[in-house]
Structure 1
Amino acid sequence: MEKVLEFLKKAGVWYLATVDEEGNPQVRPFGAQNIFEGKLYIQTGLKKKVAKQMLAHPQIAISGMADGKWIRLNAEAVHDERIEAQQSMLDANPSLKSMYAAGDGNTAVFYLKNATAEICSFTAEPEVIRF
């Protein structure tokens, strides 16, 4: 899981895919990630469509590139409403503090459960990481 965190940090911007209410895929750029209590977390605003989509259909996919490699990650997004989880995310990603605050009713953090990540390149076999 630490390797996945470092890969996403190095990518800077990675892409989150969700499913909307009609069953259509939706992809958008993200860039906030954190490990809290041994789980990999991502963050968004609870008022955004992406949060509503993850709450309704928690199966997600993430993809990003760094150093000539790419990651494909599939997981279940689990909403964690605890203030401590929100604060940990904000502390790890200080740029979010201009838009979000722990306990503000909008900050939403999700940890990734039953995750499988593949780090791939054109020159090596994929490295598979499950957590």
Structure 2
Amino acid sequence: MREVYEFLKQCGTYYLATQEGDQPRVRPFGTVNIFENKLYIQTGKVKDVYRQLKTNPKIEICAVLDGSKWIRVAAVAVEDDRLEAKQDLLDAYPSLQGMYKADDDNTIVFYLKDATATFSSFTEAPRVITF
């Protein structure tokens, strides 16, 4: 899990895929954090992605590093509405604190459960880890 976290942090931006009805939805994300030995992402409850995750918590993340290495992470996103989890993530991203507060009615974090991460590149065989 730590390796997945480090890879996503290096990329800066990753792409999160959800599903809305029979239509896949993909958007850029940038938040990733480790809290209580779980990998977390963050969004706002007012966003479509939140409603999509509530309906179907299965996600996939994809990110590319240096144009030659990439990761795909399939997981179940589990909502964690605890103030401590939200504050820890916001502390890791001070620039978000102008838009989000741990105790507002909008900020929400999810941890990844039953995750399978596949590291790939043009020069090496894929490597899979689970957490």
Q: Structure 2-normalised TM-score? A: 0.97
Q: 2:31 — aligned with what?
A: 32
Q: 2:93 — aligned with what?
A: 93
> Are positions 1:14 and 2:17 aligned together?
no
| Structure 1 residue 70: Cα displacement | 0.3
> Are positions 1:47 and 2:46 aligned together?
yes
CA RMSD after TM alignment: 0.7
Quote the sequence identity (%). Answer: 57
| Structure 1 residue 34: Cα displacement | 0.1
User: What CA distance in whole angstroms lies between the structure 2 residues aligned with 1:95 and 1:66?
Assistant: 23
| Structure 1 residue 95: Cα displacement | 1.4
| Structure 1 residue 23: Cα displacement | 2.1
Which amino acid in the other structure matches residue 4 of structure 1?
A: V
Q: 1:58 — aligned with what?
A: 57
| Structure 1 residue 93: Cα displacement | 1.4
SS of structure 1 residue aligned to 2:102 = coil
SS of structure 1 residue aligned to 2:62 = strand
Q: 1:23 — aligned with what?
A: 22
User: What CA distance in whole angstroms lies between the structure 2 residues aligned with 1:81 and 1:55?
Assistant: 13
Which amino acid in the other structure matches residue 87 of structure 1?
A: Q
Size of the aligned set, in residue pairs, is 130
SS of structure 1 residue aligned to 2:104 = coil
User: What CA distance in whole angstroms lies between the structure 1 residues aligned with 2:3 and 2:94?
Assistant: 21
Runs of 4+ in structure 1 deviating by more than 3 angstroms, as ranges, are none
Cα offsets for 1:77-120 (capped at 9, x unmatched) = 00000000000000111111111000101001000000000110
Question: Which moves more between the two structures, 90-99 or 71-80?
Answer: 90-99
User: What CA distance in whole angstroms lies between the structure 1 residues aligned with 2:123 and 2:97?
Assistant: 40
> Are positions 1:107 and 2:107 aligned together?
yes
Which amino acid in the other structure matches residue 40 of structure 1?
A: L
User: What CA distance in whole angstroms lies between the structure 1 residues aligned with 2:65 and 2:42?
Assistant: 21
Structure 1: segments with no counterpart, 5+ residues: none
User: What CA distance in whole angstroms lies between the structure 1 residues aligned with 2:126 and 2:64?
Assistant: 14
Which amino acid in the other structure matches residue 112 of structure 1?
A: L
Which amino acid in the other structure matches residue 117 of structure 1?
A: A
